[in-house]
Amino acid sequence: MEAIIDITNAIVLILNYIIVPGLSYGSQLALGALGITIIFGILRFANFAHGDTMAFGTMVTILVTWWLQSKGVSLGPLPTALLALPVGIVFTIGIMVATDKLVYKHYRRHKSAPVTFMIASMGVMFMMNGIVRFIIGPNDQRFLDGERFIVRARDFKVSTGLSEGLSIKVSQGLTIVIAVLLVLALFWFLQRTRTGKAMRAYSDNEDLALLSGVDPDRVVLVTWILAGILATIAGTLYGLDKSFKPFTYLQLLLPMFAAAIVGGIGNPIGAILGGYVIAFSEVMVTYAYKKVFIYLLPSSLEPSGLMQLLSTDYKFAVSFIILVLVLLVKPTGILKGKVI
């Protein structure tokens, strides 16, 4: 009996510190990586501005949320930000479509090399970053309201009698639910609709898609719309779950790129898989397993150290090492992506 309780406690620990955070962080990365991978699939370049696009969409959402809050509007237990999200999405789509017209279209018409697009995206990144910092400032912003937890650690302990608590934040639950719904909708769109198929065809074989009568301008437009939706939702969910700070969003670029490439760039399923692979590796490698071992091992074998593989500050190293390993072992990613 004692042993079973110990094992249950260890499982709860892992659930609480690895599975739940991994799932929600993974969902956020997956949505971000989906945006990157779709842009890559259609427009064939690595978009360095994606992190800042996320920040922009989140910023608009935050501003609208604050306005709603000041008017006394709320969603009860759910965060008000959900109401503001559509506005954020619309603004983000607007700025992305405008960017395409003003920046990328020119290079597309001249059939420039992907590197040129990439450098242009650095310029866009700077501008977006400037806009976001100018409007909302470089500091941390919190905009979460409503209920904080779905499951509270204390309630969980009381109702189960275990000594370890499990807590699930509303933001985590929301992230997972919204990510699943969004991904389902995206795949329905790509697999079932005419426009979605046109996009897949264009990504698969541009020339043949043109020969089949696909309108490239329309495909590009829809790509930016999808990227705008994904970026804003991913950014807002991340902001609700952690907090909003423009610099953090720039740093998210690396794990998101890693997720997209690890899964197989240009491949949407790969991006989702990559998001979870990166997120879980980060969480697992930087978690201190000491308590888990205390529950599982006899007290004579109790570990002295924290049993942490890497300090949390090395989480970038994790995404990077996985990225390099995959690139060396299987350059097309876990699921086959594009090789150009």
Partner 1 sequence: MSFLAGSNMVGGYGGADILKGCTVEVDEGEIAVIVGPNGAGKSTAMKALLGMLELKSGSVTFKGKDITHLTPQARIAEGIAFVPQTSNVFVNMTVYENLEMGAFLRDDDITQTVEQIYELFPVLADKQNQLAGELSGGQRQQVAVARALMSQPSVLMLDEPTAGVSPIVMDELFDRIIEVRQSGVAILMVEQNARQALNIADKGFVLVIGENRHTDTGEALLADPEVRRSFLGG
Partner 2 sequence: MSSELKTKLAFAMVAGLLLIIGFSQSWSVALGIFNLCLISAVMALGVNIQWGYAGLLNVGIMGFAALGGMAAVLVSQAPVAAAWEAGWAKLALAAIFFLATVIGTRLCYRKMSPGRHRTLSMTAIIILGLIMVRYWLDPAVASIEAIESAKTGFLGGMGLPIIFSWIFGGFVAAGIAWVVGKVALGLRADYLAIATLGISEIIIAVMKNEDWLTRGVKNVTGLSRPVPYEINLQTTEWFINLVSWWHSGTLSALSKTDQAGVLKQAVIESSSIFVKLCYTGLFASVLIIVLLLSVKALNSPWGRMMRAIRDNEIAAGAMGKDVTRRHLEVFIIGSAVVGVAGAMLTTLDGQFTPTSYQPLRYTFLIWVMVIVGGSGNNMGSVLGGFLIWIIWIEAEPVGVWLMQFGTSWMDEGNSLRIHLIDNAQHMRLFFMGLVLLLVLRFSPGGILPEVVRRRS
Interface residues with partner 1 (CB under 8 A) are 194, 197-198, 200-201, 203-205, 207-215
Residue 123 found at the interface with partner 2 (CB under 8 A): yes
Q: How many CB atoms lie within 10 A of CB 8?
A: 16
Q: If you search the block for the tokens 């985590």, which residue do you land on?
A: 172
Comparing CB distances to partner 1, the nearer of 3 and 340 is 340
| 207 Cβ neighbours under 8 A, 6+ residues apart | none
Binding partner of 134, given partner 1, partner 2, none, CB within 5-8 angstroms per partner class: partner 2
Residue 109 found at the interface with partner 2 (CB under 8 A): no
C-alpha 266/C-alpha 203 separation (Å) is: 8
Residue 285 found at the interface with partner 2 (CB under 8 A): no
Give the range of 133-141, 163-171, 217-225, 231-239 binding partner 2 by CB under 8 A: 133-141
Binding partner of 131, given partner 2, partner 1, none, CB within 5-8 angstroms per partner class: partner 2
Residue 46 found at the interface with partner 2 (CB under 8 A): yes
Q: Which of 98, 122, 184, 208 binds partner 2 (CB under 8 A)?
A: 122
Q: Which of 58, 327, 21 is nearest to 167 (CA)?
A: 21
Residue 185 found at the interface with partner 2 (CB under 8 A): no
Q: Which of 5, 114, 153, 296 binds partner 2 (CB under 8 A)?
A: 114
CA distances from 222 to 189, 227, 266 (A): 11, 8, 16
Secondary structure of the chain: what % helix, strand, coil (to 5)?
A: 75, 5, 20
Q: Which residues of 164-201 are buried (b: 16+ CB within 10 A; e: fewer)?
A: bbbbbbbbbbbbbebbeebbeebeeebeeeeebebbbb
- What is the size of the binding site for partner 2 (CB under 8 A)? 47
C-alpha 51/C-alpha 253 separation (Å) is: 5
Give the range of 53-61, 165-173, 281-289, 306-314 binding partner 2 by CB under 8 A: 306-314
Cβ 323 to partner 1, closest distance in Å? 23
Name the DSSP class of 243: -
Give the range of 53-61, 81-89, 182-190, 314-322 binding partner 2 by CB under 8 A: 314-322
Binding partner of 210, given partner 2, partner 1, none, CB within 5-8 angstroms per partner class: partner 1
| 299 Cβ neighbours under 8 A, 6+ residues apart | none
Binding partner of 272, given partner 1, partner 2, none, CB within 5-8 angstroms per partner class: none
Give the range of 69-77, 254-262, 278-286, 290-298 binding partner 2 by CB under 8 A: 254-262
Q: If you search the block for the tokens 């071992």, which residue do you land on?
A: 293
Q: Are 105 and 112 in contact (CB under 8 A)?
A: no
* 244 SS3 class: strand
Q: Which of 14, 124, 144, 335 binds partner 2 (CB under 8 A)?
A: 124
The H or E element containing residue 133 is helix 114-136
Side-chain-side CA neighbours of 26 within 13 Å: the count stands at 24
Q: Which of 133, 197, 242, 290 binds partner 2 (CB under 8 A)?
A: 133
Binding partner of 24, given partner 2, partner 1, none, CB within 5-8 angstroms per partner class: none
Cβ 314 to partner 2, closest distance in Å? 5
Can you give the binding site for partner 2, defined by CB under 8 A? 45-46, 103, 106, 114-116, 118-120, 122-131, 133-135, 137-138, 247, 250-251, 253-254, 257-258, 261, 305, 311, 313-314, 316-317, 319-320, 323-324, 327-328, 331, 340
